């Protein structure tokens, strides 16, 4: 897989933030794998920037629990199946509440954006493009989550979701799992449109349970043949 574009464009973000965004994009798309070692001076040379902002970006990723430090750079953090099960348990407690808050906080403008992202996920699924699907699904998720007024709740959910994104990468490559994900995306959108917080919460519960079952149904195969970027399968 070719790496995400490394050319920085004019932006309000500083170099550290741009490096962070680039590394996160590569992690989400599986371009950084479990066997990869991230070294600050190598990344700095690739991006034609100084080492300090690269180091700071990787330290931020370490503090967020996505990287582990070694004597020679950083590697993706390893999560066991037990870790993942516990993360899903916590998400089941938090995300339905966040969805209800977001539903109550929705506006016509925000729903229009949400609907656009939902349509993009459907289009990507129909085109059998798993990476485009995951990118569109990320935008849909970020949109509804940003409608949740509780900042700390949003940040906690996002951090936990980041820790199991390799599960998404592994399972959403298969059409049958994308179809289930799309179904719950559409149910969540409908809950928002109908101004029905409980319907939105139920869509989140169903989606999380489905994601967990998808992971466990493929666990044996994934443990034997970890996909690129599969930090969750140690």
Percent of the chain scoring above 90 in pLDDT = 65
Domain presence at residue 233:
no
Q: What is the CATH number of the domain that holds 140?
A: 1.20.120.530
User: What is the model's pLDDT at position 150?
Assistant: 97
Instruction: Say whether pLDDT at 234 is over 50.
Output: no
Domain presence at residue 3:
no
Let me know whether 96 and 196 are in one domain.
yes
Instruction: Say whether pLDDT at 227 is over 70.
Output: no
Instruction: Say whether pLDDT at 46 is over 70.
Output: yes
Let me know whether 52 and 115 are in one domain.
no
Mean pLDDT of 169-176: 85
User: What is the model's pLDDT at position 78?
Assistant: 83
User: Which of 76, 110, 128 finishes a domain?
Assistant: 76
User: What is the model's pLDDT at position 29?
Assistant: 78
- Mapped onto helix, strand or coil, the DSSP state of residue 70 is strand
Let me know whether 218 and 115 are in one domain.
yes
Task: Give the residue numbers spanning the domain of 36.
Answer: 15-76
- Residue 91 in contact with residue 81, Cβ under 8 Å? no
User: Which of 30, 51, 76 finishes a domain?
Assistant: 76
- Mapped onto helix, strand or coil, the DSSP state of residue 97 is helix
User: What is the model's pLDDT at position 233?
Assistant: 35
Domain presence at residue 103:
yes
Domain presence at residue 7:
no
Counting the structural domains of the chain, the total is: 2
Among 21-25, 142-146, 210-214, 229-233, the range with the most confident prediction by mean pLDDT is: 142-146
Q: How far is CA 23 from CA 16, 30, 143, 149, 157, in A?
A: 11, 11, 21, 28, 20
Let me know whether 108 and 153 are in one domain.
yes
Let me know whether 193 and 131 are in one domain.
yes
Let me know whether 87 and 107 are in one domain.
yes
Residues making up the chain, counted from first to last: 234
Let me know whether 153 and 123 are in one domain.
yes
- Distance between CA atoms of residues 171 and 184, nearest Å: 15
pLDDT band for position 229 (cuts 50, 70, 90): very low
Domain presence at residue 9:
no
Domain presence at residue 199:
yes
Let me know whether 102 and 199 are in one domain.
yes
Domain presence at residue 173:
yes
Let me know whether 212 and 121 are in one domain.
yes
Let me know whether 198 and 138 are in one domain.
yes
* Cβ neighbours around 200 below 10 Å, total: 27
Q: What is the CATH number of the domain that holds 43?
A: 1.10.10.10
- Distance between CA atoms of residues 96 and 146, nearest Å: 14
User: Which of 76, 100, 116 finishes a domain?
Assistant: 76
Residue entry with tokens 């070719």: 2
User: What is the model's pLDDT at position 34?
Assistant: 79
Mean pLDDT of 201-229: 76
Mean pLDDT of 9-32: 84
Domain presence at residue 206:
yes
Let me know whether 72 and 111 are in one domain.
no
Helix (DSSP H) and strand (DSSP E) numbers for the chain: 11, 2
Let me know whether 143 and 159 are in one domain.
yes
């Amino acid at each position: 897989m070719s790496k995400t574009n490394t050319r920085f464009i004019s932006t309000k973000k500083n170099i550290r933030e741009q490096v962070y965004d680039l590394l996160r994009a590569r992690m989400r798309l599986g371009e950084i794998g479990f066997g990869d070692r991230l070294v600050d001076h190598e990344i700095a040379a690739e991006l034609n920037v100084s080492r300090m902002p690269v180091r700071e970006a990787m330290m931020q990723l370490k503090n967020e629990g996505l990287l582990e430090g070694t004597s020679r750079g950083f590697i993706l953090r390893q999560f066991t199946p037990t870790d993942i099960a516990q993360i899903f348990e916590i998400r089941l407690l938090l995300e339905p509440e966040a969805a209800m808050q977001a539903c109550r906080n929705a506006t016509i403008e925000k729903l229009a954006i949400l609907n656009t992202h939902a349509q993009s996920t459907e289009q990507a699924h129909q085109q059998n493009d798993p990476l485009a699907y995951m990118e569109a699904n990320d935008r849909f998720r970020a949109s509804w989550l940003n409608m949740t007024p509780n900042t700390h709740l949003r940040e906690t959910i996002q951090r936990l979701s980041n820790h199991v994104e390799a599960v998404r990468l592994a399972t959403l490559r298969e059409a049958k799992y994308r179809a289930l994900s799309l179904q719950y995306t559409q149910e969540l959108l409908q809950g928002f449109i109908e101004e029905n917080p409980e319907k939105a919460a139920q869509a989140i519960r169903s989606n999380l349970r489905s994601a967990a079952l998808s992971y466990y149904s493929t666990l044996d195969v994934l443990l034997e043949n970890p996909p690129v970027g599969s930090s969750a399968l140690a």
